[in-house]
Amino acid sequence: MWSSRALKYIFRLGPEPISSSSFSAYSLSRITGGALIPSQHRSITSTAPLNGWMDSIKGVFTGNKNTPLEESNLPVEAFTLLRFADELKNARRLGKFKQYIVGRSSEATFSDAFEKQEAVIRYLGALDVTGENLQASQKQDAAKHCKCTITDVENTLAKFTWARQAHKKMAELKEGGKPLPKNMGELQKMMGSTPMDLARSNLAKSGQISRNALCPCGSKKRYKRCCGKD
C-alpha cells in the first residue's frame, strides 16, 4: 500500500555497479569463521539510483500497479516472500530494468542480479512465507543453494522484512486516520532505519560476521572499525 518509490529505495544497493565477472568481496568463511560457501560464489548486489527501477514492481505493495497509495488495501498477511518474488519475476520478464541500468552494468548482468535475489527470496519463502521464523541454518542453506554469500542472503531478506514492517506501519496509520509518509525521506524517518541497517543488525546478532571481516555495508573497512565499532 505504498507509492512505487518504495521499492526503488529498498533495492538501492552497493557503491559499485555489478559486472559479469564480479565476485563477492569475501567468502562465507570470512563471515562465519569457516563455512561451506566457496569464494567463487558471486555477490548478487547491484546498483540502482534512489528513484530507480522499483516502479516496475509497485504491485507488491498495492496489489495493483496502478493503485494510488491512499487507495491501496493490500492486507499485511498478503505481503509475503513469495509475492515479493513474483513481482520481481514479472518486472524482470517484462524487461522493465533497462532504463535504470547505470555505469558498467549491462541489461543482462542487471537482470541476473535480481534473478539471483528472486531465487533467494523464493527459497526462503518456501520455508517461511513471512520470513519471521527463519533459522540461521536455513539462511546458510539458501546461500549454498543460490551460490551466493550469507551476507547476500541477509541483505536480500532485509529488504523484504523492512518493506513488510513499513507496510504494516502504514496500514496502522491509515486505519487510524493519520497522515501517511509522502516521500521516502518521511518513510525512512518513520521507520528509523534502512534495509541495510536491518541486514547489518541481523548479521551481528546471529554471530555470522567476524569482527575482522570486511563490513557488509561496502565501505571496504573491517567490520570492527565500521558498523561493528563499539
Q: State phi, psi for 222 to the nearest 5 degrees.
A: -65, 145
CA–CA–CA angle 148, 152, 157 (5° rounding): 125
**Alpha carbon distances (Å) from 170 to 26, 125, 161:** 37, 23, 14
State whether residue 93 is helix, strand or coil: helix
Cβ distance 125 to 81 under 8 Å? yes
Cα–Cα distance for residue pair 134/151, rounded to 1 Å: 15
Higher pLDDT, 108 or 19: 108
Higher pLDDT, 100 or 75: 75
Per residue in 153-177, pLDDT (tens digit) is 988 898 888 888 888 888 888 889 8
- In the chain, where the domains are located: 5-225
Tell if the pTM clears 0.85, that is, is over it.
no
Average pLDDT over residues 7-20: 41
Out of 31-35, 140-144, 212-216, the most confident range is 140-144
Q: What is the pLDDT of residue 181?
A: 77
Longest Cα–Cα distance of the chain, Å, equals 51
What is the pLDDT confidence band of residue 129, given thresholds at 50, 70 and 90?
A: very high
Average pLDDT over residues 64-83: 66
If 0-12 CB within 10 Å is exposed, 13-18 middle and 19+ buried, where does residue 99 land?
Answer: exposed
Query: How many other C-beta atoms are found inside a 10 Å radius of the C-beta of residue 30?
Result: 19
Average pLDDT over residues 114-120: 87
